[in-house]
Structure 1
Amino acid sequence: MQTKAAGSDVPRYYQLMLQQDLLGGWMLFREWGQQGGRASTKREVYLERDAALRAFEHARDAQLKRGFHVMFAQGFDGPHTG
């Protein structure tokens, strides 16, 4: 996800990735920052897919409310932004 460039402001981005680990759990990776600048990351571990998917959707929806726009989606059923 990315914000639109406004004047001289550098666009910000927020990336979410959900991935199954080797033991059957799920990891939600988050990365955010300004394009061309420093990035911050966070990793959360979930035992069940449904809990991980709910966390992913909650994080996505929160960023959409903050003005981010989906730029690229891959996996599952794609984004549900409605």
Structure 2
Amino acid sequence: MRLFMQTKPAGKEPPRYYHLILQQDLLGGWILTREWGQQGGRASGKKDYFEVREHAEEALIQARDQQLKKGFTVMFAQGMEGPMGSRYEA
């Protein structure tokens, strides 16, 4: 699962972005990778490990909602369909 968000460009500064990737590891756990920064600039990141998929999905949704409150917009979502439709897109 993958979600890419960004802000609108402010003047001459490029937009900021926030990228969330949720993937299963080889041992059956789940890794939520977060990457953020300014387009064309230096990036920062963080990885969190979860044993249960539902907990990882909750963390992804929580991270997405935090960024939406900060003015980010979902630009791209891949593999985000759940049984109740697209619960990952805002």
Do they fold alike, i.e. is TM over 0.5? yes
Distance 1:21 1:49 in 2: 11
Distance 1:69 1:53 in 2: 19
Number of corresponding residues: 81
Q: Is the Cα–Cα contact under 8 Å of residues 6 and 72 in structure 2 kept in the other structure?
A: yes
Distance 1:5 1:38 in 2: 17
**Match of residue 5, structure 1, among 4, 9, 16:** 9
Shift of 1:6: 1.7
Q: Which structure has more strand as a fraction of its residues?
A: 2
Please name the residue that 1:80 is paired with. Answer: 89
Please name the residue that 2:52 is paired with. Answer: 48
Identity %: 62
Q: How does 1:7-26 map to 2 (within 5 A)?
A: 7-26=11-30
- Which amino acid counterpart does residue 37 of structure 1 have in structure 2? G
Q: Which runs of 5+ in 2 are unaligned?
A: none
**TM-score normalized with structure 2 length:** 0.86
Aligned residues: CA RMSD: 0.9
- Alignment of 1:66 onto 2:70: yes
**Stretches of 4+ aligned residues off by more than 2 angstroms:** none
Distance 1:80 1:47 in 2: 24
Secondary structure at 1:58 match in 2: helix
